[in-house]
Every structure is written in C-alpha cells, then in structure tokens.
Chains A and B, each alone.
Chain A
Amino acid sequence: MAGITIDRIEKKFGAVTALQQLSLKVEDGEFIALLGPSGCGKTTLLRIIAGLESQTSGRVLIGERDVSALPPRQRGLAMVFQNYAVFPHMTVYENVAFGLRMKGASDAEVKKQVERAAGLLHIEPYLERYPAKLSGGQRQRVAVARALAVEPAVLLMDEPLSNLDALLRLEMRSELKAVLASSGTTTVYVTHDQTEAMGLADRIAVMHKGVIEQIDRPQALYERPATRFVGGFVGSPPMNFIDLPVADGTARLGGFSSPVPLRNGTVTAGIRAEDIDVAEDGGLPFDVGVCEPLGATLLLTGRIDGQLARVSVRPDSRVRPGDRLGLTPNAGRIVWIDPADGKAMGAAA
C-alpha cells in the first residue's frame, strides 16, 4: 500500500513561491505524469516527495504514513534525478547495485536484480565501465536502472528519458510502462513532453506556475481541458483559441453560429485542429498561410478573422497558401472558455 497524498504543500525559496498550496492524490500502483513547462515546479515537488527539500507548509503521506518530517532514506522510495547523479567513482554495475547493497541484499540477489534492470534498459554491455566513459543517454539509463533495481514501492522519475534519441525513447517508454504496470509500482513521472505523458500515464497532472491546473486521464485532458493553458499545452498542434462575439446567447462569426453558455460579450472557442470540417465556404472564414505535410495529415496554419488557427486535413487535400476555406467545427467538441479567467465554462446553456 503505497499511494501518495500531497496535502496543501507550499514551497517558497525566499521571495519566490515555487509551489502554491498544492494537493495531489496518487493511488497505489498508479502512474501519474507531472506535465508542465520549464520552471513550473515539477522538480521541486518531486524533491519534496523524496524529502530532499523541506516544504514551507503542508504534509506528504506515503501509504498511511505521514513522512513530512522523515529523512529521504526512511521514505522507502527510489528516484531518477534530472541530472542523473550517477556515481562517477563506481562502475555501472555498482551504481545499479547501490540501492540493493544499502538494503543489505546478498551478492546473488544483487547480481540477479542488476542483470534484470540492466537488461531492461539495454546497458548490459557497459556494466564494467565507469560512467565517465558513457554518453548522456547511457548514463540516464544507468540512473533509471539503479532506481528499478530496488523494486521500489514508490518511484519518482525526473525526465528520465529526456536525453535519448526518439527511437530509443519510444522503446524505453513502452518497456517502462509494461514493467511498472506489472510490478504495481506507484510512479510519479516528471516530463515536459506531452506525448510522453499521454502515452505513459494513467493520469496527467498539468502544472503551471506552481499549481496543478488540471488532473485527469490523458484522453479526458485532451478533449476537455479545464483551462486555456491546458488546452494549449496538451496536444500537438496546440488547441486553437478563437475569440467570438456573443449576442443573445449565440456566438457568431462569418457563416458560423453556435449557442454558448453566455448572454452577451466575447467567448473563446477552444477547437482541436482535427475536430474541424473543411469546405469551400460557409462556417468560419479561414485564410491559409502555410501548408505542412506531416505524413498522416496535412497541417494548415492560417488566420480566422485575424486570429491564428491550425487545421488538420487529409494529406491528399489540394490546398494552397492564399486559399480561403470555410471551417465548421464539430459542435460537440468545442470547449467554451471565458476569456476573462481562461477557465472552461459549463456545457452550452
């Protein structure tokens, strides 16, 4: 039983507030991704869970145990550091074995676990080398292997795959997911790569400026972002945000109209690039600026009433820069956002 409860954690570095009253509940065996831009407090939160940083206020519970005041080694977790922290004076083998040795495991046990972890991360050929002789990506895998070798109940990972090439990253990603799911390890995984978060996590917590903006399953997060920030951060290309004038509860622009949960004023329509039907005319008037063939789709970048928008169309569409098209968004998938606070509004009234 090793769920994690983060209860109103606040962290100040002098005048800088890195985390503001942040709460988060990770279920036992769950895989949570902390997703957010650089400097939003992901590493700080992870270090507080690990006990390497002391919180200004709030509590951390692991299982039923309040660990807020315990030193890291009594919290029963493993961690992959953002800058690896692979011990330079030990061979790769001894690095991976470190946690097991600290637990007093027998040599046979150590050997077995090291070989298993090394196999998972494809670092067997380097076991007798020293880290100075490894590439960044290889060192990073040593750091992950060191954490997996102890078979922790709670695993904290700070951008553990950031230094791998795209192919290896994809492979490691699926292997990590399979291993951690089968061992039932409670995992908090920090990343600023949204595809990685979507692919790996049971739930994603999107962080922004020291708060969690939204926490949900990847698909729900993608489809129903709670804020403009989440819609813009999750998904590639980012969600389109088009301001529309509203009169009498109806938003209208060009040939497009839709009921909105607002009487009068302006509303922001959050629309995914692929949730749009494209026609010769009618609907939202779209002036094509750039066409990018992405293989599976053709990505059009242009303007709706002067506002930046991106649309995915079939790769064989004959669209040219300078064309004017008519866009009809899929009504059920539009997210209505209040431009004043950037928060999503309830369903259309």
Chain B
Amino acid sequence: MTEKILLKGNIALAKGAIAAGCRYYFGYPITPQNDIPEYLSAELPKVGGTFIQAESEIASINMVLGASASGVRAMTSSSGPGISLMQEGMSYMAGSELPGLVVNVMRVGPGLGGIAPTQGDYFQATRGGGHGDYFNIVLAPASVQEMFDLAIKAFELSDKYRNPAMILCDAILGQMKEPVVLEETKTVIPPLKPWALTGSKGRKPQFLKTLYLSDGEQEAHNLELKEKYDRLREEDVLFEAKGLDDSEIVIVAFGTVSRIAKTAIQMAKREGIRVGMIRPITIFPFPTEVIRETAKRIPRVLVVEMNTGQMLQDVKLSIESSVKLRFYGRPGGGIPTPEDMLREIRVMFNEEGF
C-alpha cells in the first residue's frame, strides 16, 4: 500500500526535486518560496548534495548554469523580482542548450508588489522571458501532489530537450497542505550527458557557447532550437480534461484557479448548466489542439485567470473567431471565488443564441 503524508506544496516540490536526483540548489531568499531553500539547505547535505545561498538571483541562475554544464541536475527557485533577474541566465541556458529547473512561486507585481497569489507571470514564463528567440518548458501544478510529480517531470523534460524548465505556481499552492503519495521507491537516476564538461579525459575537448558570429551560424542554431520546440508541441503537451462530453460551456483555467473552477462547475451543475474544463498542465507547450477541437463542438469558452488576461491570448490563438469567448480575471492579489465564476457561467448561459 502506498502511504499518504500531509505536506506543504513548497516542501512537496523540494522532495520531488530530490526524488528526481537533483543534488544542486542555488538560490536567494524571497517570499513566498523560502520553504524550498530552507528545506533543501537541511536535506541536500544528507544526500551528498550542495546548497548555496547565492549573493543574488543573477548569481543563482549562473551557478545553475555552471552545474548543469557539468552534467548534473540543478535548480533554483524564486518569485517575481528574482525571476526577472534570472532572465539573462535563462536566455544563455536556452542558447547553450542547458537543462535546469527554475521554480517561480509567483507574487503580485509589477515591481516589489506583494506576496499575494497571482498568475501575473504567465507571459514572462511562456514567452521566453529573456532576450532572443527561445522558450522555456513551463509546467503549472494545481495540487500539492502535482508539486511533487511535476518537479520530477520538469527535470525529465528539461533533460530530454536540453532546455530550461520552469514550474509556475503561486503562494496558495506553495503554502497549502494536502495528502501526497511520494514514490520514494522509485529512485530516479539522471541520464548521462555526453555533452557535459567534465575535463577532456579520454575524449576531445568540448565546449558550450551562445555566441555565433559567422554568416548564417546563428540562424541555423535558432532553427535547430525551433525544431526542438516543435517536437515539444508534438510530443509533450500535458493537460487535464473534465466533463467535456456533455457540457455546454468549457472553462479554461490553470493552477490554483482550476481548483476554484471545479467548485463553480459543481454549483452550475446544480442549476442545470453543464460546464466542462480544460486545464493546461504544460503552459508551454500550450494544449492548443485539444482546446481547438473542443471549441468546435462546444463553442462557448470561459477563461478565468488571476491576472488581466494572459493565457487568454493563447486560448484566442487556439480557437476560431466564431467561438464565444469570455474572460474573467482578478489581478493584483484578487482571488476569483466560485460565486464569481458561477456568475460568469450564468451570463454566458443566458446569452442570446444559446
């Protein structure tokens, strides 16, 4: 029998990283993610790992870059202001095709903002975020169990594609406690990385770089990166679909908001309105196809986010213009309630032509 234990989201995520074989953590304190470095500073030394509290997030991400270049699984975690400082390093990691995990426990912004939950960093996470033509692999957990599971998945995908991965979550997921099943019996052994820098014993020296100055070199490199992103879209889109068979309206929501939406869907059902949901788990690559196909059958889509409409853009790009699209968002720390969502569902349901 698999045992369930009660865990905080941030701790589950840290445990997931250790289960994934990550032994290197570099980070700088910021609320609301401090449980992650605090926990790992105690646990990593016990498993032969290394924890460094870096002088800044710029240093943190570059330590991750260096460790990753050396062939191991490495990570950092932060929130808004710190994630902004990491964008340079993440761009270099994407450019030199280095894996690594960056956790963003989002806090409201812009600027110093506050520590309230938000989904305001969706654009930064899914559009690359730093300079240049690249993407991060971005996973959005919606439960404490997924904080654990997706930490492992993020390392797998990051290694598979040699590209930085990000876990995008918020203070609610980080702080709440839920029962979790830890697959501790399965010890993940990170893959061997023949491209890693280890000293050149027994082979030719090799190097990692991002600078391409000769004619056409950079273009060829960027096209190779594009192929990788296309393959990601092809092979590794993750989403959860619920109640799509007989519903009249589809909600698209990720992370924390998708949980609130589940309650709203129950409430609507009691009123006789059948609502389904698509929850993107990978937000890059985005589950475009399932949303497109579903909206052909059920042409009423409600997008709910804790921002002023960011994932909304990706949903718009996925559906035909004839689909009725409605958005409800609360930015800056506002959390949409089930009642808010039910109100939006009713409006859609009572719209003309329904």
A, B from the same assembly: no
